[in-house]
Amino acid sequence: MTRREALATRAVHAGRDDLTDLGLHAPPLDLSTTYPSRDSLEEARRLDVLATGEMPPGPPVYGRAGNPTVARFETALAELEGCEAAVAFASGMAALTACLLAAVAAGRPHVVAVRPLYGTSDHLLSSGLLGTEVTWAEPGKVAPSLRADTGLVLVETPANPTLTEVDLRALADECGDVPLLADNTFATPVLQRPAEHGARMVLHSATKFLGGHGDVLGGVVACDESRARTLRQLRFVTGAVLHPLAGYLLLRGLATLPLRVRAASATAGELAARLAAHPRVTRVFHPTVRPRPAGQMETGGPVLAFETDGDPHALIAAVRLITPAVSLGSTDTLIQHPASISHRIMDPEDRTATGISDRLLRLSAGLEDVDDLWADLSRALDAAAR
């Protein structure tokens, strides 16, 4: 039996298998928007195939239908998630939008979702802007919420921003034949691979840890080839394409993903422990401080949240090394106030009911020295208390 290569090895080589045969070391960046062809009949035939969501071999036709650089990133991410295919989009919200539109197009616009979710994801479902109808359900109560027109069950685990973990295998069993879409942004395929636990589709805001340097926007869905064809159709007609430069940066980001995520996870775990012992911190949210689903995540992950008895806005104003900014997953440590930023768009009552209090702060650990981060954070905690 052939030994399966470790994820760290595959992260370096995925999407690059043909480079030696091409005489290249770095993956090429193809910025073309269109691709000339003297055979317009063959080009018409290929465009007919591309419009169905299939990706036929041969040269591209038009940048909105496919790009070789983006395709390398898709191939690599699918391999790391253990899925047949992946489809990349301009942002994580564009990727989620395509998944919801696919359910609507199939005549199954009802969605069952588990809170908490990223605030804009929550708003998109609650607003019904795409023609979907949502039922919010807790794990263990999803099955009774399913209907004949349920096209999707959506979960984010660990959840943004409370880091709540959901047992994916148990949830997938509840879903039955309804596909489970798992947002894996916080964990990445380094720490968990939802497809191994029954999820049919895996969503990422690639802007976060996959890119890893705060300089690229993107989203991606890993799934089977049948679902990928539908998502490609939607991407083709809506134009929510990932720019080739973004695809290039995301593929480069995957090579260091295991190193970055594991290092940041160790830092987050240490900060969570120190925060739990700090007199100005009333509550800490991190998978290491609560019971967890067995065998699902490798570690607690690189994101944590905490509540302070002082003014959270004063704390954000007081940090000097930590970056006070929205988003997460960068090489530098980021801190933000979810009720004001990432989850501001939610109804305040829904926000409170899902555990997002006005004193909650979310921190995404970066790659700095943990003692330097703690010196900055503890000083800011004391300043906020004053």
User: What's the pLDDT tens digit per position in 172-209?
Assistant: 999 999 999 999 999 999 999 999 999 999 999 999 99
- DSSP letters of 135-198? EE--TTSSGGG--TTEEEEEEESSPTTT-----HHHHHHHHTTSPEEEE-TTTHHHH--GGGGT
Is position 292 within any domain?
Answer: yes
> pTM of the prediction?
0.96
Could you tell me the pLDDT band of residue 290, with boundaries at 50, 70 and 90? Answer: confident
Is position 15 within any domain?
Answer: no
Question: Where do the H-state alpha helices sit in 35-151?
Answer: 40-50, 68-81, 92-105, 119-127
Quote the crossing angle between the two packed helices 92-105 and 225-238, to the nearest 10°. 110
**For residues 11 and 289, which has the higher predicted lDDT (pLDDT)?**
11
CATH code of residue 376: 3.90.1150.10
The token duo for 288 is 């290491």
Backbone angles phi, psi at 267, to 5 degrees: -65, -45
Is position 277 within any domain?
Answer: yes
**Residue 262 in this model has a pLDDT that exceeds 80:** yes
Is position 363 within any domain?
Answer: yes
Could you tell me the pLDDT band of residue 347, with boundaries at 50, 70 and 90? Answer: confident
Q: Are strands 85-89 and 219-223 parallel, antiparallel or unpaired?
A: antiparallel
> Residue 138: its pLDDT value, please?
96
The token duo for 119 is 């605030």
Q: Which residues contact 103 (CB under 8 A, 6 or more apart)?
A: 109, 111, 132, 151, 152
Is position 320 within any domain?
Answer: yes
**Residue 4 in this model has a pLDDT that exceeds 70:** yes
> Residue 386: its pLDDT value, please?
75
CA–CA–CA angle 260, 265, 271 (5° rounding): 130
The token duo for 339 is 């009720």
**Residue 2 in this model has a pLDDT that exceeds 80:** no
The token duo for 277 is 């012992």
Is position 263 within any domain?
Answer: yes
Q: What is the pLDDT of residues 132-169, one digit of tens each?
A: 999 999 999 999 999 999 999 999 999 999 999 999 99
In percent, the amount of the chain with pLDDT more than 90 equals 91
Which position has the token pair 């940066």?
A: 249
Q: Are strands 150-156 and 180-183 parallel, antiparallel or unpaired?
A: parallel
Structural domain harbouring 279: 257-385
**Residue 3 in this model has a pLDDT that exceeds 80:** no
Mean pLDDT over all residues of the chain? 96
Burial 20-39 (b: 16+ CB within 10 A, else e): eeeeeeebeebeeeebeeee
Quote the crossing angle between the two packed helices 68-81 and 244-276, to the nearest 10°. 40
Question: What is the average per-residue pLDDT within 214-235?
Answer: 98
Q: Which residues are catalytic?
A: 64, 118, 183, 208
Q: What is the pLDDT of residues 56-98, one digit of tens each?
A: 888 899 999 999 999 999 999 999 999 999 999 999 999 999 9
Nearest residue to 366 (alpha-carbon basis) of 336, 333, 341, 337? 333
Distance CA 54, CA 220 (A): 17
Contact 135, 111 (CB under 8 A): yes
Contact 190, 265 (CB under 8 A): no
The token duo for 291 is 């019971």
Helix then strand then coil, % of the chain, to nearest 5: 40, 15, 45
Q: What is the pLDDT of residues 25-47, one digit of tens each?
A: 999 999 999 999 999 999 999 98
Q: What is the pLDDT of residues 93-111, one digit of tens each?
A: 999 999 999 999 999 999 9
Domain count, the chain: 1
**Residue 277 in this model has a pLDDT that exceeds 60:** yes
Could you tell me the pLDDT band of residue 1, with boundaries at 50, 70 and 90? Answer: low
Backbone angles phi, psi at 154, to 5 degrees: -120, 135
**Residue 267 in this model has a pLDDT that exceeds 90:** yes
Quote the crossing angle between the two packed helices 244-276 and 370-385, to the nearest 10°. 60
Could you tell me the pLDDT band of residue 295, with boundaries at 50, 70 and 90? Answer: confident
Is position 106 within any domain?
Answer: no
Is position 280 within any domain?
Answer: yes
Cα dist from 334 to 12, 141, 164, 322, 329, whole Å: 26, 35, 20, 6, 8
Question: What is the average per-residue pLDDT within 328-347?
Answer: 94
Cα dist from 97 to 145, 170, 359, 377, whole Å: 22, 26, 31, 37
> Residue 70: its pLDDT value, please?
98
